[in-house]
Amino acid sequence: MSTKSTQSQACCNTPAVVSKGYKAKGDYITIDGLKTYATGPKDAKRGILVVYDIFGFFDQTLQGADILAYTDSDKPYQVFMPDFFEGEPADISWYPPDNEEKGKKLGEFFKTKAAPPKTLPRIPKIVKELGESKGIETWAIVGFCWGGKIVNLSAMEGTPFKAAASCHPAMVAGDDAPGITIPFIMLPSKDEPKEDIEKWQQGLKVPNVVEWFPDQVHGFMAARGDLEDEKVKKEYERGYKLVLDFFHKHM
C-alpha cells in the first residue's frame, strides 16, 4: 500500500484551470431519466462515471470532469456526471453546518435526497445504458465528498468498474474496505478523520494509494474549491493529476 505522492505520468499537460466563469466543454444528455453532464471524445472506449458532491453541478466539478476527459492523450475518456438529486441539490450556504438551522437542513437533505440506497441501484443501470449507447468498454468511477461514499459502496464484488477514486470523502468506514475488489485511490483533505482513513486503508486487499492534502478543506476538488486562491488551484490540479495517473495505470 502506498501513501506516497506519485509523479503523474498520464497528464503532463493539464489544461489551464479557470478560476471563475468556467465554460464547460460538454453538454447534457438524459440517462436513466437523469440529466447527465457528458464530456470527452465521443469515440473514446473508456468511461469515467463522476458522482458529484451534495451541491450538484458546480463549475469546479464540471471543470474537473473536463480535465478527466481530455488531459490524458494516451487514454482519453468519455466522462458522465448524472444529476442524482434531480435538480434539487443542497444549498452550499448550509456548509459548514455551524449553526442549528444549517445542521437541520443538511440532516434532512441526507435523509431524503442523499441516502445511499436511493442512488446505488441506479449506477449499474446508468453504466449499462451508457455502455450500449456510447460504446464504452471499460469504466472507472470517481466521487467527491458524499460521492466518495457512493464510490466505496460501488467498488464491491460484481462492480462494473476497473478502478475507483474518492476525493475528500464523507462517511469513510473501515467496514467497507474488505469488500472493495478494484484498485482504489483516496485523496483526503485536512477535514477527514485520520483514524477513519487509516482503518479503511488497513482493511483493503487491493492496490491502493492514499494521498493526503493536509492544507485543503473538504470539497476543494469540487464545489468548495476556491480556485481564485493559487494554493487551492495548484492542489486542485495535483489532485486530478493523481486520479488520472492512477486510472492510466489500472485501466
Task: Give the pLDDT of residue 97.
Answer: 84
Task: Give the pLDDT of residue 168.
Answer: 97
CATH number at residue 140: 3.40.50.1820
> Residue 193 sits in which domain range?
27-91+117-250
Average pLDDT of the segment spanning 70-79 = 93
Q: What is the pLDDT of residues 15-32, one digit of tens each?
A: 668 888 899 999 999 999
Predicted TM-score of the model (pTM)? 0.93
- Per-residue pLDDT band for 5 (boundaries 50, 70, 90) equals very low
Q: Is residue 173 part of a domain?
A: yes
Provide the domain count of the chain: 1
Task: Give the pLDDT of residue 13.
Answer: 59
Q: Is residue 107 part of a domain?
A: no
Q: Is residue 109 part of a domain?
A: no
Q: Is residue 167 part of a domain?
A: yes
Residue % of the chain over a pLDDT of 90? 86
Q: Is residue 111 part of a domain?
A: no
Average pLDDT of the segment spanning 223-237 = 95
Q: What is the pLDDT of residues 129-182, one digit of tens each?
A: 999 999 999 999 999 999 999 999 999 999 999 999 999 999 999 999 999 999
Task: Give the pLDDT of residue 105.
Answer: 93
Q: How far is CA 134 from CA 17, 38, 41, 65, in A?
A: 27, 11, 11, 17
Q: Is residue 4 part of a domain?
A: no
pLDDT at 8 > cutoff 50:
no
Q: Is residue 76 part of a domain?
A: yes
Task: Give the pLDDT of residue 6.
Answer: 42
Q: Is residue 195 part of a domain?
A: yes
Task: Give the pLDDT of residue 88.
Answer: 95
Exposed, middle or buried, 102 (CB in 10 Å: 0-12/13-18/19+)? middle
Task: Round the average pLDDT of the chain to a whole number and report it.
Answer: 92
